[in-house]
Amino acid sequence: KNQVEQSPQSLIILEGKNCTLQCNYTVSPFSNLRWYKQDTGRGPVSLTIMTFSENTKSNGRYTATLDADTKQSSLHITASQLSDSASYICVVSRRGGNNRKLIWGLGTSLAVNP
Amino acid sequence: DVKVTQSSRYLVKRTGEKVFLECVQDMDHENMFWYRQDPGLGLRLIYFSYDVKMKEKGDIPEGYSVSREKKERFSLILESASTNQTSMYLCASSPRAGPIHGYTFGSGTRLTVV
B79 touches chain A (CB under 8 A): no
pLDDT in tens, B55-70: 999 999 999 999 999 9
Residue B91 has pLDDT above 90, yes or no: yes
Residue B102 has pLDDT above 90, yes or no: no
pLDDT in tens, A6-35: 999 999 999 999 999 999 999 888 889 999
Contacts of B110 in chain A (CB under 8 A): 41
The pLDDT > 90 percentage for chain A reads 80
Q: Smallest CA–CA separation between A56 and chain B, in Å?
A: 17
Neighbours of A69 (CB within 10 A): 6
Average pLDDT, chain B: 93
Between β-strands A10-14 and A108-113, what pairing exists: parallel, antiparallel or unpaired? parallel
Q: Which residue of B has its CA nearest to A39?
A: B107
Residue-level pLDDT at A86: 98
pLDDT tier, A101 (very low <50, low <70, confident <90, very high otherwise): confident
Residue A43 has pLDDT above 60, yes or no: yes
Residue-level pLDDT at B98: 56
Q: Which residue of A has its CA nearest to B39?
A: A106
pLDDT in tens, B7-50: 899 999 999 999 999 999 999 999 999 999 999 999 999 999 99
Nearest by CB: A104 against B4, B42, B105: B42
Q: What number is the average pLDDT over the span B59-84?
A: 96
Nearest by CB: A97 against B9, B58, B99: B99
pLDDT tier, A2 (very low <50, low <70, confident <90, very high otherwise): confident
| Cβ-contact A75, A59 below 8 angstroms | no
Q: What number is the average pLDDT over the span A27-48?
A: 92
CB contact under 8 A, A43 and B45: no
Q: What number is the average pLDDT over the span A75-102?
A: 88
Q: What number is the average pLDDT over the span A66-85?
A: 96
